A and B are shown apart, each in its own frame.
Chain A
Amino acid sequence: QKEVEQNSGPLSVPEGAIASLNCTYSDRGSQSFFWYRQYSGKSPELIMSIYSNGDKEDGRFTAQLNKASQYVSLLIRDSQPSDSATYLCAVNFYGGATNKLIFGTGTLLAVQP
């Protein structure tokens, strides 16, 4: 059974601080990794994708991947109240007939003004 684990939170950080979100996954065959943001009642919206070990930066967001530890994280710098949402870690299992995202339960982030 392929699993993606996240701390459900809530993670509360003050405005301007760094928010750190973590995710672990069970299957070493996982090949691509995504962070989505989901506001209440809305659909998942892509924040970052990462495919290889190391860091990937995009504006205030940095994704980190460590395949040996089966760990992926998202850092949000200079957190804003508008960043308050649920952050979903998703892992893509694909190959042959298999092609699907497995989602974690999400971490609720609350940025306090």
Chain B
Amino acid sequence: EPEVTQTPSHQVTQMGQEVILRCVPISNHLYFYWYRQILGQKVEFLVSFYNNEISEKSEIFDDQFSVERPDGSNFTLKIRSTKLEDSAMYFCASSARQEETQYFGPGTRLLVL
């Protein structure tokens, strides 16, 4: 069964460093998303992406964040200068259509020291 994959599973970085989180969405899906979950808190929407551009972004998704679909399969989230409060689990998701189920990848656990 097709699934969303994410790499790396864990990332430890120093404050101020850049990180890139990678995702391979389900192959026939057209809508891509990033969510994050701080330990013990709810899953929060970061950004949605369709037709090679951002559809919507939350207030969390500031100028330090960017997304890209560099080729036909990968979808990346870049954090330019990480902060301690960026420590969280980051989930990529994809869906075939706007209203349909979003399928989540296994997540990348990011720890900023």
Partner-B contacts on A (CB < 8 A): 31-32, 34, 36, 42-46, 49, 51, 88, 90, 92, 94-95, 97-106
The stretch among B11-19, B67-75, B79-87, B96-104 that forms the contact with chain A is: B96-104
Residues in chain A near residue B89, CB distance under 8 A: 43
Is B31 in contact with A88, judged by CB distance below 8 angstroms?
Answer: no
Is A34 in contact with B101, judged by CB distance below 8 angstroms?
Answer: yes
Assuming the A-B contacts A31-B99, A43-B105, A46-B103, are A99 and B91 also in contact, with contact meaning beta carbons closer than 8 angstroms in the complex?
no
Question: CA–CA, A67 to B37, complex, Å?
Answer: 28
Assuming the A-B contacts A42-B106, A43-B104, A43-B107, are A51 and B42 also in contact, with contact meaning beta carbons closer than 8 angstroms in the complex?
no
Residue B55 at the A interface, CB < 8 A?
yes
- Residue in A44, A51, A90, A105 whose CB lies within 8 Å of B91: A44
Residues in chain B near residue A106, CB distance under 8 A: 42
Is A99 in contact with B42, judged by CB distance below 8 angstroms?
Answer: no
